[in-house]
Amino acid sequence: MHLREPLRFTPLYQERVWGGRALDAVFGRPLPAGRPIGESWEIVDRPEAQSLVRGGPWQGWTLRRLLAEQAAAVMGPRWPARRPFPLLVKWLDCHERLSLQVHPPAAVATELHGEPKTENWYIAHTAQDAELIVGLRRGVTRPEFERALADGTVEACVHHFPVAAGDSILVRSGEVHAIDAGNLILEIQQNSDTTYRVHDWGRVGLDGRPRQLHIAESLRSIRWDDYEAELVRGSPTSGVIADCAEFRIRRVLLGAGERLHVAAGEQPRLLSVVRGQLSLQAEGGGEKRPFAVDPGDNLLLPYGGTFTFAADATTILLLTENFV
């Protein structure tokens, strides 16, 4: 079989003390009953978590098996079959504020036996007056930060700013950060799960005990010259919203009936619908395949496939590329 279909995966839902039920309320997803769901891992290739293909001829295959047996078709001719998929895509339902945390830069990650993690947040929905925290407040030094940790005033040392639906921000490894309550965020990140908590606002975990902090690792990882990160505000036009060594993300706006064409043999891409709906169109004048892409869906578009999508209504999607 030729791998020329978009790949859609079964979400892996993660219970988190700060999570909620927004994925049901916003996207109509059936969630595990009675649990605060903070994360939905949409596309993942890790030893502890594997995406399973949902629908089509590859139904039930893990992403790892696809790359092992179909690496060239999925990722292109130069992709080693044993190399993991380089990105992790997840929805974050931040019903409550997340911890103040940091991911280690590459050099520090090696020293601490962790993984670097640069990530992009796209704010799909947000409560009134919700904020993000990214970077230090301008002029804050490491000694000041450490004193503030000790006396419980560290919130005054970090950069707060309001956000609205459609905004996005690139958070690089080494930037101290937190997500405020009331944000539903699409996170596209390096394939990493290393997070060091530096402060948790006095919260306890699902077991009723204070969650583990990683003070020494955090202080080693924070970029002390990183002040007041800049937000990319939402816009009524298409354009690049993130561009770094790990990936590039383009926001694409389509009116009803407008089309997006993706050619085979260029590179694999991720397609994420954050508002509206798409329909996959048949290639070569053939009969239309019954494949709708709904709000909240995240697809992997293999290297070997040609795809044309039509917007059923005004649609906002993200195209992630340049990760190979």
Entry pTM: 0.95
In angstroms, rounded to a whole number, what is the distance separating the alpha carbons of residues 176 and 178?
7
Expressed in percent and rounded to 5, the helix, strand and coil fractions of the chain are 15, 40, 45
Set 197, 211, 248, 275: catalytic member: 197
Beta bridge partners of 254: 315
Q: For domain 239-321, which architecture applies?
A: Sandwich (2.60)
State residue 3's pLDDT score: 77
In angstroms, rounded to a whole number, what is the distance separating the alpha carbons of residues 39 and 11?
9
Q: Provide CATH 2.60.120.10 ranges for the chain.
A: 7-221, 239-321
| Residue 197 a catalytic site member | yes
Mean pLDDT by 10 residues, the chain (324 residues): 84 97 96 96 97 95 97 96 97 97 96 96 95 97 97 96 97 97 98 96 90 96 95 93 97 97 96 96 62 96 95 96 98
How would you class 250 by CB atoms within 10 Å of its CB: exposed for 0-12, middle for 13-18, buried for 19 or more?
middle
Provide the 3-class DSSP secondary structure of residue 13. strand
DSSP assigned state of 157: G
State residue 5's pLDDT score: 86
45-101 confidence digits (pLDDT tens): 999 999 999 999 999 999 999 999 999 999 999 999 999 999 999 999 999 999 999
CATH number (2.40.50.140, 2.60.120.10, 3.30.1050.10, 3.30.428.10) of 7-221 reads 2.60.120.10
Provide the 3-class DSSP secondary structure of residue 152. coil
Provide the 3-class DSSP secondary structure of residue 107. helix
